Amino acid sequence: MDAISRPKQLLLILGDIGTLYLALILTLWLRYGKFFYAELINNHLEPFTIIFAVWILIFYIAGLYDLQSLKNDFEFEKTFWYTTIANVLLTALFFYAIPHFAITPKTVLGLFFVIFGCINYLWRSLYNTALGRTGAASRILLVGANQTTQEIVTYLEQNPQIGYTVSHWMKDGLRDKEFAHLAEIILENRITMIVIPAHIKKDSAAAKLIYKCLALGVDVVDVAKLYELLFRKVPLAELEEVWFLENLTTKHRMYESISDPTERLLALLLGIVIMPLLVLIAFLIKVTSPGSAFFSQRRVGKNGREFTIWKFRTMRPDAEKNGPQWANYFNDARVTWFGNILRRSHLDELPQLYNIITGDLSFVGPRPERPEFITTLRKELPFYDLRHLSKPGVTGWAQINYRYGASAADAYQKLQYDLYYIKNNSLLLDILIAIRTAKFLITNHS
């Protein structure tokens, strides 16, 4: 999928950069009446180039380069205009907070907002339309039918801009009467990719038939692989033990050996810097509700080892007088009014810097669960203990892609994201999660 999505995203980024500079030139022309006047351009070029780099980054954080969002619907329009307004406000703050550039372009910023907004909105609307109408780069022959394949088909029908289309669907799998005529179907439907369940490869006759079709220039992909590329999570229903042997290995140990001491040092330095804020929050908790300012809980970490996690207390002291229970993060009657503020701002998580320093947590990783819940989840969810192959984190891939979990069904969905993270763990993925976590903290949704 990356081979299809990256050129589309690169073209969109280049178009955004072009519209930013075009809007700047038109703005200066309208404001000063001097087209391409060198001194005028040079006074604005350096600061606006810095600003434009920030704009592109914020567009990325807002999800405006995700192929799933490139549709001319209300959600796209809302995200585009909110992000553009936020960028203009940040630009104004930049110029007034940094006097180095010696310009405070109030009128220029107003004009620029209108001109860029119109030009870039038109460019993106046309681009979105073109993506939706362009023929799919990959035409799929899908074999087999279950909930996973139905999710794939529905998703691709709703998102033609992704670049995939299911041109032929053999719902009966190996029992499909057309399977024996695989080559003819590939040629007739101009198939470029065959997507099959893993178990079909175990059938020698089917495997030979598919092998012969490789000469037609088609790719053969597992259902699980396509699902992972589309949804950025692994489909538990499609996986067998051999998948975990092939994918969840020790290949990330080198990265972890470097990141662990780095994170501990960073957490220590960050804790020292924000110590006044920690003291202030602890004081406000004490004066607004009885009980300790801190709250501790037993959690299960890497390799199943239990540890104590620390947070600022957000609930009443008797919140669990009836025993452990799932928490509703933003609508729980046990939460105090100040605790609600801490939760919505996620400041209640700050004491977990101590857990990073002690090596129990990372900044990024699967969120650690309570032992009381894991006993149940192990029975209900296949492969649940495999999430403990990685050190847990303050934030994670599941947290930015799925709502706050409060049930076994939610845990199942989050497990699929956690296993994707463990399989693909890297510095780049951690940076992506950190950036999207910043978006979550600002907007209170992922």
Q: Is residue 129 part of a domain?
A: yes
pLDDT at residue 294, rounded to an integer: 93
Whether 248 is covered by a domain: the verdict is: no
How many helices and strands in the chain, by DSSP H and E? 17, 8
d(CA 424, CA 426): 6
Residues 173 and 41 reside in one and the same domain: no
- Are 293 and 170 in the same domain? no
The domain total for the chain is 3
- The predicted pLDDT at position 78 comes to 85
Domain range for 224: 138-231
Whether residues 173 and 111 share a domain: the answer is no
User: Which residues lie closer than 8 Å to 156 by C-beta, 6 or more apart?
Assistant: 140, 162, 164, 165, 166, 230
Q: Which residue bears the tokens 């662990």?
A: 260
Confidence of residue 73 (pLDDT cuts 50, 70, 90): confident
Same domain, residue pair 46 and 98: yes
Residue 397, Ramachandran bin (φ over 0: left; ψ between -120 and 50: alpha; else beta):
alpha
d(CA 120, CA 17): 10
Residue 179 has pLDDT above 90, yes or no: no
Please check whether residue 241 lies inside any domain of the structure: no
Evaluate whether residue 245 is within a structural domain. Answer: no
Question: Residue 282 domain-assigned?
Answer: yes
Note the pLDDT of residue 237.
86
Say if residue 257 is in the same domain as residue 224.
no
Average pLDDT over residues 87-105: 75
Length of the chain: 446
CATH number for the domain harbouring residue 158? 3.40.50.10700
271, 357 contact by CB (below 8 A)? yes
CA-CA distances (angstroms) from residue 293 to 283, 306, 311, 408? Answer: 7, 23, 9, 30
User: How far is the C-alpha of 186 from the C-alpha of 217, rounded, in Å?
Assistant: 10
CA angle 199, 205, 206 (to 5 degrees): 50
Asked if the model's pLDDT at residue 445 lies above 50, the reply is no
Phi, psi of 410 (to 5 degrees): -65, -40
Judge contact between 340 and 364, C-beta under 8 A. no
With cut-offs at 50, 70 and 90, classify the pLDDT of residue 446: very low
Q: What is the pLDDT of residue 324?
A: 60
Tell me the pLDDT band of 438, cut-offs 50, 70 and 90: confident
The domain boundary, picked from 105, 133, 161, lies at 133
Residue 236 lies in a domain: no
pLDDT tens digits, one per residue of 51-67 = 999 999 989 888 888 88
The least confident of 76-90, 258-272, 297-311 is 76-90
Does 121 have pLDDT greater than 90? yes
Mean local confidence (pLDDT), 326-337: 69
Residue 308 dihedral angles phi and psi, to the nearest 5°: -100, 125
Same domain, 263 and 349: yes
pLDDT, residue 93, reads 84
Same domain (yes/no): 274, 415: yes
Residue 242 lies in a domain: no
Domain co-membership, 71 together with 43: yes
157, 60: one domain: no
Q: What is the pLDDT of residues 6-17, one digit of tens each?
A: 788 899 999 999
Average pLDDT of span 13-36: 86
Give the DSSP letter string of 346-367: TGGGTTHHHHHHTTS-EEESPP
The domain boundary, picked from 180, 196, 231, lies at 231
Final residue of a domain: which of 82, 107, 133? Answer: 133
Inform me whether the pLDDT recorded for 3 exceeds 70. no
Check whether residue 29 and residue 115 sit in a common domain: yes
**128 lies in the same domain as 142:** no
Considering the domain boundaries, does residue 328 fall inside one? yes
My answer on whether 303 and 365 are in the same domain is yes
Q: Are strands 138-143 and 219-222 parallel, antiparallel or unpaired?
A: unpaired
For residue 246, pLDDT beyond 50: yes
